[in-house]
Amino acid sequence: MSKLPDAKMLARSIQYAFPSAPWMKTKPVFNPGSFCYPAKEETMAGLGMPNPHTWNPAEEDWKLPPDWEDIIYTALKDRLEKYRSLKVFMDICVRCGTCADKCHFFLGTGDPKNMPVLRAELIRSVYRRDFTTAGRLLGKIAGGRKLDAAIIKEWFYYFYQCTECRRCSLFCPYGIDTAEITMIARELLHELGLGIHWIMDPVSNCNRTGNHLGIQPHAFKEIVEFLCEDIETVTGIKIKPPFNEKGHEILFITPSGDVFAEPGIYTFMGYLMLFHEIGLDYTLSTYASEGGNFGSFTSAAMMKKLNAKMYAEAERLGVKWILGGECGHMWRVVHQYMDTMNGPTPTCMATPKSPITGTMFHNAASTKMVHITEFTADLIKHNKITLDPSRNDHLTVTFHDSCNPARGMGLLEEPRAVIKAACNNFVEMPENTIREQTFCCGGGSGLNTEEIMELRMRGGLPRGNALRYVQERRGVNTMACICAIDRATLPPLANYWAPGVTVTGTHELVANALVMRGESKRTMNLRQEDLPGVEEDE
Amino acid sequence: MFVSLLAVIGLGGIGWLIAPYAPYLFGVILPLAAILVFLSGVVWRIKNWGNSPVPFRIPTTGGQQRSLDWIKPARLDSPFSRAATAWRMLLEVLLFRSLFRNTKAEFKDGSRLVYWSSKWLWLFALVFHYCFLTIAVRHLRFFTEPVPFGVGLLETLDGLMQIGVPRFYMTDALIVAALLFLLCRRLFDQKIRYISLPGDYFPLFLLLLLVGSGICMRYLGKADIASVKAFTMGLATFAPISPAGLPSIFFIHLLSVTTLLMYFPFSKLMHMGGVFLSPTRNQPNNSRAVRHENPWNPPKKYHTYAEYEDDFRDLMDEAGLPLEITPEQAAAAAAKE
């Protein structure tokens, strides 16, 4: 990875200027740092993906299969027949340009093809020429262009510079959703054996070991037990979470990133402490140890394949419902795809009911999966847990809405209710950067990889800017989130754009404030940093 | 841009110079064919969209979901029921709510992004569409006898300012202003200019020709209304009479309508029908409460727990994880085979 330029310099260097050559004539240059590393041939082959091969985006020849044009043509035709969304979105764009400056990648790079409208035109132009009468007759005048290898490269370049955040879709007068177009474009690229390492490796791991990080069952258990030791160090309470046990009421599934890396592990510890304190009858599973779904960044079929484990495991263990941890794209999948793809739910499952408050989660009556902030917000509302927010008084907290829960679910107030109960100092970022208008962390949809760090920082500019604003004006020093990818991508983003701001999961804040029965006096937080102003008892 | 401009100038030329000499072709045959093309084209396009499956329920949520009792849901932007979704659609179609959200991002002091509210496009788009509707309804005067009360009322309202003779219609000025705004945006906003295709300029030029020729006829050229109406009533009653003798400007006007009708179903103008079918807007946000069926849902294929346990049985056993089949049982089964 090359060294990042100074943040202010980078921001000042961004120009929204347009080349004199029309966009059909300009082509991307594959410099290091502008693209993600390709998926390994054996990974793709192992997953049964079509046309696995070894290739390098920086080289001229991508070693496409000889009949690649047919493959693309057939695949596009197939998707047009299967998705009304694609067909309508290909046909009705009027190029009003409203979406242009809504995209974080356009705002951060100034590259015209990062305007959602042009990103879609990359495919739309091919569609027009080969699938519409006007395009067949008039060609370029009707906005069509002939498919060639350079267009495939362009697709790869720009559909891996879209994080499927749907911000453009919110502003589009027809609701044209670039996420939908990107998902399908990536499916087309995968038909040619073109994928990226950072997505396909986790997919392969998840398929076999049950989680993206490839943690094997015994290791998964060990890591969690290790985290429990840390909990004991901080609280004096011993927790022994159940694994793969039958006969519990609830199956808890969260992204594996939460058990693996800082700061996610503190959020995971937060879940365990909360469940222990309320005496929740739950189990973890090593088989379904992944809430996230990098399959959703690959294809609908892969999304379905990885997601199927959730209900399969719920059925095997005989649980009544599933509780899901903090994660962005996981919740897009759970909320909008899971039930359709892998439902109806196993017969052992029932409409989720909080065993602590008795609240029925009718909004999850069919999927039977509840978001942890819905669950915790309900606990707090019913005074079923005791929180001492003053323990978080040294923090001034803001909240980063993840794209998927915001625009693919509408989960906005629940996390805020939880954070406000756990902290006394809560500040919102500017209104055009939060809630349904939230900006991406710059690394969603499987782009949270190191080799494109500068690109991520550029994509993260609008978020970084908003964070910097509240840091300077309101003294914000902590950004909470409800997403495992955020917990991986926001710390470098904050370091770059707003140094000094710490990133935390929402349930880390909860656990730090949580007053537990039989706990020893808290002198440090879950990160084992001393709490200011608290003296250890002699 | 120039291709579109030339095409529209060419159309004007045909209307001006050629059409008056082939009145029956340009006055009767083409307009009737255009109506046929328009109706069948629009129906075909909408049926084509409507018949394609909607595999997933993917509304773009613009507000709080319905979850816990004490959290107020955004009924319009995150609609839970069909009725609320219908309201969302209705307001989208009638008031362009999504466009109303529009902002403009700009760097301030070199490195700070700020977002300004930006409603000009919303305003002029709304003005254009409603003026076009009003003008279209006003034109019913030419196709009905007696003229319905509503049409007369609309004319009165439109001409409320009572300027000049014939009375000046506000919509005539407004629609020209709106079209010019939309055109200038395309020409002078770098972003929009860069993304614009011939198919984006053509309808604007065509509409300007249409509106311009109409205005000329009403306020300047003064076409003989009685003979125009005799002709249009002929079309409306399918007893067409030749428009021979009507001025050239009328032929320009008629030819631009004819072109618009024929062009409409095969162009981006179909956004009028497509907006109703947009899956991110016309679906309720209730996918966890009510299961959505995918008509082509493929069979489930996944790495099963049994396969997983086979892979890791011994390690799981050592770690004390519960098993379906113990290593001993697995060994015994393997020995049997």
The secondary structure element, H or E, covering residue A371 is strand A369-371
| A13/chain B closest Cα distance in angstroms | 9
Domain termination site, one of B277, B294, B319: B277
**A chain contacts of residue B100, beta-carbon cutoff 8 Å:** none
- Residue B292 is assigned to a structural domain of this protein: no
The secondary structure element, H or E, covering residue A321 is strand A321-324
Residues 239-268 of A with CB under 8 A from B: 243-246
Q: What is the pLDDT of residues B132-155, one digit of tens each?
A: 999 999 999 999 988 999 999 999
Query: Do B194 and A313 make contact, defined as CB atoms within 8 angstroms?
Result: no
Q: Which of B74, B196, B321 is facing A95, going by the closest CB pair?
A: B196
Q: Which of B58, B194, B311 is facing A336, going by the closest CB pair?
A: B58
Q: What is the pLDDT of residue B167?
A: 83
**B chain contacts of residue A133, beta-carbon cutoff 8 Å:** 266
Number of domains in chain B: 2
- Residue B291 is assigned to a structural domain of this protein: no
Burial class (CB in 10 A: 0-12, 13-18, 19+), A376: buried
Tokens of A25: 């004539």
Q: Which of A141, A171, A362 is facing B289, going by the closest CB pair?
A: A362
* Residue A431 neighbours by CB under 8 Å, 6+ apart: A437
Residues B271 and B318 in one domain: no
- Whole-Å CA distances, B296 to A81, A162, B117, B288: 10, 27, 42, 20
**B chain contacts of residue A18, beta-carbon cutoff 8 Å:** 190-191, 193-194
Q: What is the pLDDT of residue A1?
A: 46
CATH number of the domain encompassing residue B35 = 1.20.950.20
- Whole-Å CA distances, B119 to A150, A171, A238, B116: 38, 12, 58, 10
**At residue A37, what are phi and psi to the nearest 5 degrees?**
-65, 145
Residues B94 and B235 in one domain: yes
Q: How many helices (H) and strands (E) does chain A have?
A: 24, 7
Is A412 in the B-facing interface, judged by CB distances under 8 Å? yes
Query: Do A335 and B198 make contact, defined as CB atoms within 8 angstroms?
Result: no
Q: Which of B58, B278, B289 is facing A174, going by the closest CB pair?
A: B278
Residues B102 and B200 in one domain: yes
Query: Do B65 and A244 make contact, defined as CB atoms within 8 angstroms?
Result: no
Print pLDDT tens along chain A (538 aa).
Answer: 457 899 989 999 998 989 999 999 999 999 999 999 999 999 999 999 999 999 999 999 999 999 999 999 999 999 999 999 999 999 999 999 999 999 999 999 999 999 999 999 999 999 999 998 888 888 888 899 999 999 999 999 999 999 999 999 999 999 999 999 999 999 999 999 999 999 999 999 999 999 999 999 999 999 999 999 999 999 999 999 999 999 999 999 999 999 989 999 999 999 999 999 999 999 999 999 999 999 999 999 999 999 999 999 999 999 999 999 999 999 999 999 999 999 999 999 999 999 999 999 999 999 999 999 999 999 999 999 999 999 999 999 999 999 999 999 999 999 999 999 999 999 999 999 999 999 999 999 999 999 999 999 999 999 999 999 999 999 999 999 999 999 999 999 999 999 999 999 999 999 999 999 999 999 999 999 999 888 766 5
- Residue B300 is assigned to a structural domain of this protein: no
Could you give the CA distance from residue A38 to residue A516 in angstroms, rounded to a whole number?
Answer: 48
Q: What is the 3-state secondary structure (H, E, C) of A161-190?
A: CCCCCCHHHHHCCCCCCHHHHHHHHHHHHH
Q: Which of A313, A414, A462 is facing B67, going by the closest CB pair?
A: A414
Residues B25 and B70 in one domain: yes
* Residue B294 neighbours by CB under 8 Å, 6+ apart: A340, A341, B53, B55, B56
Is A408 in the B-facing interface, judged by CB distances under 8 Å? yes
| A63/chain B closest Cα distance in angstroms | 30
Residue whose C-alpha is closest to residue A96's, from B206, B119, B205, B185: B185
Residue whose C-alpha is closest to residue B52's, from B328, B330, B294, B306: B294
Query: Do B197 and A143 make contact, defined as CB atoms within 8 angstroms?
Result: yes
Residues B72 and B149 in one domain: yes
* Residue A228 neighbours by CB under 8 Å, 6+ apart: A238, A239, A240, A241, A269, A272
Residue A357: CB atoms within 10 A of its CB come to: 16
Domain termination site, one of B259, B277, B295: B277
Q: Which of A309, A343, A381 is facing B302, going by the closest CB pair?
A: A309
- Residue B301 is assigned to a structural domain of this protein: no
- Residue B228 is assigned to a structural domain of this protein: yes
Residues B161 and B268 in one domain: yes
C-beta of residue A187 within 8 angstroms of C-beta of residue A200? no
The one-letter amino acid at A126: V
Could you give the CA distance from residue A477 to residue B298 in angstroms, rounded to a whole number?
Answer: 48
Omega before A344 cis (within 30°)? yes
Residues B219 and B315 in one domain: no
| Residue numbers of the domain that contains B319 | 307-336
Could you give the CA distance from residue B337 to residue B333 in angstroms, rounded to a whole number?
Answer: 7
Q: What is the pLDDT of residues A342-386, one digit of tens each?
A: 999 999 999 999 999 999 999 999 999 999 999 999 999 999 999
Is A344 in the B-facing interface, judged by CB distances under 8 Å? yes
Domain termination site, one of B255, B277, B299: B277
Query: Do A173 and B98 make contact, defined as CB atoms within 8 angstroms?
Result: yes
- Residue B217 is assigned to a structural domain of this protein: yes
Q: What is the pLDDT of residues B89-119, one digit of tens each?
A: 999 999 999 999 999 999 988 888 999 999 9
Query: Do A286 and B321 make contact, defined as CB atoms within 8 angstroms?
Result: yes
Is A131 in the B-facing interface, judged by CB distances under 8 Å? no
Residues B121 and B74 in one domain: yes
**A chain contacts of residue B3, beta-carbon cutoff 8 Å:** 141
Residues B225 and B321 in one domain: no
Q: What is the pLDDT of residues B69-87, one digit of tens each?
A: 999 999 999 999 999 999 9
Could you give the CA distance from residue B25 to residue B234 in angstroms, rounded to a whole number?
Answer: 15
- CA gyration radius for chain A? 24
C-beta of residue B186 within 8 angstroms of C-beta of residue B192? yes
Residues B131 and B86 in one domain: yes
Residues B114 and B199 in one domain: yes
Beta bridge partners of A371: A324
- Residue B156 is assigned to a structural domain of this protein: yes
Residues B247 and B106 in one domain: yes
Chain A residue whose CA is closest to B78: A410
Q: Which of A174, A359, A363 is facing B289, going by the closest CB pair?
A: A363
pLDDT, average across residues B287-295:
97
Straight-line distance from the first to the last Cα atom of chain B, in angstroms, rounded to the nearest whole number: 76
- Residue B273 is assigned to a structural domain of this protein: yes
Query: Do A374 and B68 make contact, defined as CB atoms within 8 angstroms?
Result: yes
